[in-house]
Amino acid sequence: MKKGLIFDIQRFSVNDGAGIRTTVFLKGCPLHCIWCQNPEGISVNAKLVCFASSCILCGQCAQKGDNAVRIEKKQVVIENDKVKNPDEYESICPAGALRMDSRWYELDELIHILKRDKVFFKYGGGVTLSGGEPFFQNEFSTALLQKLREEGIHTAVETSLYTRPGSIEKALPYIDTLFADFKIYDNDLHKKCTGVDNDIIKKNIKFILQSLYRDNVIIRTPLIPFYTAVPENLQKIAEQIVSWYEHVKYELLNYNPLAAAKYKHVDYDYCFSEKLPMYTAEQMAYFYGILKEAGIIGY
């Protein structure tokens, strides 16, 4: 299986690892975090969506006759289960408003795209796999990482580690930097917020932190007010990972309120209805103080 379902390829990514990178967003995720930054990446199916800001309501999509796409009250309504040939809709729309939210790429085709910015990578950048959950398409991801390694391109992966230990083990040799999320220590709360238990995640973190590749690993917690950005949670995570590897690198991702805007195109709601601010430099320093207290020496 040398095809992967990708919902975005972002060049000039500067926050997903060292240097200037291209980030590949793989579709599908077993978690359903209520604060998810890329909610369009959760569902495993490609679907047709309409970007209302580009739509000029010309009605050409509604004239196809299968009633899968209609205009109701000056809005395009799509019934994805009725859409048979989504590509046709994409091509009919003169405004480029009707688009597939993801598409399948052959491995070679994707490599060809990723190699385009090689001239930038050579000064310390590379390719980052993100998602979704990259290991949700683990065969494709591993093949991709292997191929990137052959091309001499630095690789990074951003993962929830909610996957079979075997798939991690296979991919690890081809990963230069592994960003592994550890969101919530308490299992009940973890399940409530993400939809899954965290025992597999803990097991995997322990595994990679005791592997040959442990210095390539950076544990991350996205700071979400009231859920993860709680001193006790950060402290417990820190103590746990230090017990597995004393030199473990651990970083905190500041809360990003912009994700809320993305929820227009998915069927569920963002965890906050009001707009919360990012954490200030002082607050971030306070959180990092907790990690230090718990024995973290690597950031």
Partner 1 sequence: MQNMKMSERIKILKKKMLAQKRYMSVEQALLTTDVYKKNEEKPVIIKRALALQAALEKIEIAVEPEEMIVGNRTRGVRFGVVSPESGGSWIDGELTTLPNRPQDPFQVHAKDIDDYREIIKPYWQDKSLEDILQKRYGRELAAISKVAKINQTDHSQGHICPDCLLWLEKGPAGIKEQAQRLTGGQSLTREQREFYKSVVIVMDGMQTFMLRYSILLKDTARVNGKFASSLEKMADNCENIAKRPPENFHEAVQSLWFLFVVLQMESNASSFSPGRMDRYLYSFYKNDIDNSIISADDALEIIECLWLKFNQIVYMRNAGSAKYFAGFPIGFNIAIGGLDEYGNTAENDLSYLFLKAQEDLGLPQPNLSVRLNKNTAQKLLQYAVKVVSKGSGMPQFFNDEAIIETMMNDLKIEKKDAWDYAIVGCVELTTQGNNLGWSDAAMFNMNKALELAMNHGRCLLTGKQLGPDMGGLERFSSYEELEKAFAAQIDYFLEKMIMACEEVEKGHMALLPSPFLSAVIDNCLANGVDVTAGGAKYNLSGIQIIQAANVADSMAALKQLVYDEKRVSGAEMLNALQNDFNGFEIVRTMAENKVPKYGNDIEWVDNIAAKWAHYFREKLTHYKNCRGGIYHTGMYTVSAHVPMGENVGASPDGRLAGKPLADGGMSPVYGCDKNGPTAVLQSVSRLDNVLTSNGGLLNMKFLPEFFATEEGIEKFSMFLRAFVDLKIPHIQFNVVHREDLLKAQKEPEKYSSLTVRVAGYTAYFTELDRKLQDEIIARTEYSAI
Q: Which of 37, 45, 52, 54 binds partner 1 (CB under 8 A)?
A: 54
Q: Does 189 bind partner 1 (CB under 8 A)?
A: no
Q: Does 119 bind partner 1 (CB under 8 A)?
A: yes
Q: Return the DSSP state at 254.
A: P
Among the residue ranges 30-38, 117-125, 132-140, 196-204, the one whose residues contact partner 1 (CB under 8 A): 117-125
Confirm if 105 and 6 have CB atoms less than 8 A apart.
Answer: yes
Q: Does 112 bind partner 1 (CB under 8 A)?
A: no
Among the residue ranges 116-124, 202-210, 239-247, 265-273, the one whose residues contact partner 1 (CB under 8 A): 116-124
Q: Does 20 bind partner 1 (CB under 8 A)?
A: yes
Between 123 and 226, name the residue whose CB sits nearer to partner 1. Answer: 123
Q: Does 146 bind partner 1 (CB under 8 A)?
A: no
Q: Which of 19, 165, 257, 298 binds partner 1 (CB under 8 A)?
A: 19
Q: Which of 37, 45, 52, 56 binds partner 1 (CB under 8 A)?
A: 56
Among the residue ranges 52-60, 65-73, 246-254, 256-264, the one whose residues contact partner 1 (CB under 8 A): 52-60
Q: In b/e form, how buried is each residue of 153-182, taking b as 16+ CB within 10 angstroms? A: bbbbbbbbbbbeeebbebbbebbbbbbbbb
Confirm if 218 and 178 have CB atoms less than 8 A apart.
Answer: yes
Smallest distance from partner 1 to CB 60, Å? 8
Q: Roughly what angle, to the nearest 10 degrees, separates helices 138-150 and 107-114?
A: 50
Q: Return the DSSP state at 132.
A: S
Count the residues of the shown chain that bind partner 1, applying the rule CB under 8 A.
25
Q: For residue 26, what are the β-bridge partners?
A: 6, 131
Q: Which of 6, 7, 13, 177 binds partner 1 (CB under 8 A)?
A: 13
Q: Does 152 bind partner 1 (CB under 8 A)?
A: no
Q: Does 95 bind partner 1 (CB under 8 A)?
A: yes
Residues contacting residue 275 through CB under 8 Å, at least 6 positions apart:
257, 260
Residues contacting residue 158 through CB under 8 Å, at least 6 positions apart:
16, 128, 129, 130, 131, 134, 179, 181, 220
Q: Mask: binding to partner 1, 22-41, rule CB under 8 A, as x and -?
A: x-------------------
The DSSP H or E segment spanning 111 is: helix 107-114
Interacting positions 65-94 with partner 1 (CB under 8 A): 94
User: Which two structure tokens, joined as six digits, stand for 105?
Assistant: 């790429």
For residue 50, with 0-12 CB atoms within 10 Å meaning exposed, 13-18 middle and 19 or more buried, which class applies? Answer: buried
d(CA 190, CA 193): 5
Q: Does 191 bind partner 1 (CB under 8 A)?
A: no
Residues forming contacts to partner 1 in the complex (CB under 8 A) are 10-15, 19-20, 22, 54, 56, 58, 60, 94-97, 116-117, 119-120, 122-125
